[in-house]
């Protein structure tokens, strides 16, 4: 199951384990675990965490095993590129 790292405006880093999707809901960005076999966020999805969108600087998805991952120090897989979220 993927993990999201969220970097907030005050530079704190929050980790959201078990979420596999996120979307903006009004002033909040909410992280979800989708239902088994579901490709969309719907009524079967479970809310895992929410943050004020205005407080987000970066959301980074970190998959446990990435096909074709870039090798880092000592061969460790690095997470994908940073992705800025929201306007701030």
> Does position 88 have pLDDT exceeding 90, yes or no?
no
The pLDDT tens digits for 53-84 are 999 999 999 987 654 555 555 544 455 555 55
What integer pLDDT is reported at residue 12 of this predicted model? 97
d(CA 41, CA 44): 8
d(CA 1, CA 15): 13
Residue 37's pLDDT band (cuts 50, 70, 90): confident
> Does position 31 have pLDDT exceeding 60, yes or no?
yes
Dihedral sign for Cα atoms in the order 58, 62, 68, 73? positive
């Amino acid at each position: 199951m993927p993990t999201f790292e969220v970097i907030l405006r005050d530079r704190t880093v929050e980790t959201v384990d078990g979420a596999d999707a996120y979307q903006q809901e009004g002033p909040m960005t909410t992280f979800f675990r989708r239902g088994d076999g579901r490709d969309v966020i719907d009524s079967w999805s479970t809310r895992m965490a929410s943050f004020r969108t205005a407080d987000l600087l970066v959301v980074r998805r970190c998959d446990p095993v990435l096909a074709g991952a870039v090798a880092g120090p000592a061969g460790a897989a690095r997470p994908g590129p940073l992705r800025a979220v929201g306007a701030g």
